[in-house]
Amino acid sequence: MLFDSGYLILFIAIIVVSGAAQMYIRSTYGRWSRVPNGAGLSGGQVAEYLRDHAQFGNRSGREAITAISVVPGALSDHFDPRDRSLSLSEAVAHQPSIASMAIAAHEVGHAQQMAEGSALMQLRSLLVPAVSFGPGLAYVFILGGLFLQMAGLFVIGILLFGIAVLFSILTLPVEIQASQKALAMLQSTGVITSEQDRSGTRSMLTAAALTYVAAAVGAILTLLYYLTLARRSN
């Protein structure tokens, strides 16, 4: 049966875990977005400074980060490995806070990963096209397999959903490494000027990592549930 008590428990667990992670990152961001960083630099200025002063393997900073732009939305910051562009949300780009400094540095950390040829970063990038449509198709095949009692469709759906799970799992070490690189760059270039800067940056990067942990846990639990359904139908 598709909508049994196990599914309800799983749904509640995922909502609680992901909701708690989102509340924590927003609470942490809210706290440190009100605290100015010691360098007095906005997130956009931090990104530019790190691009010009940090090490990016054999590439120059302007080769590793081709453009820095501002995009709408809250916490919509990201690095695009396809064209090596870095996008910052308006608040992060313009506020000289510890939160903005940490977020901007984290995205520059992704640029450093790409420039240094991180295998995990490259593998995750290869999965992006499949992940963009895989989960949607997975649900179609899984539901079709359940309602039509066709095991083949169900298996295809699980395999497609497995790609999304693999992406979530690969994302964890990629994001953790980007945060480590961010902190190292901020310290080596002298952008961090006080213990408060360091403590706030660590708090921000830890909170961000927890959101990816929550996403991975939710994806794994969902996959395990689908595998349980597949075993029951046999």
Phi, psi values for residue 133, rounded to 5°: -125, -10
Phi, psi values for residue 155, rounded to 5°: -65, -45
Output b/e per residue, 21-32; b: 16+ Cβ within 10 A. Answer: beebbeebbebb
Separation of alpha carbons 108 and 54, rounded Å: 9
Separation of alpha carbons 182 and 199, rounded Å: 13
Separation of alpha carbons 56 and 43, rounded Å: 19
Are 227 and 145 in contact by the 8 Å Cβ rule? The answer is no
Are 141 and 160 in contact by the 8 Å Cβ rule? The answer is yes
Is residue 90 annotated as a catalytic residue, yes or no?
Answer: no
Q: To 10 degrees, the CA torsion angle through 156, 161, 163, 169?
A: -150
Residue 15, Cβ neighbours under 10 Å: how many?
11
* Identified catalytic residue from 48, 63, 90, 107: 107
- Amino acid (1-letter code) at residue 54: A
Token pair 């961010």 in the structure block, residue: 182
The residues that are catalytic are 107
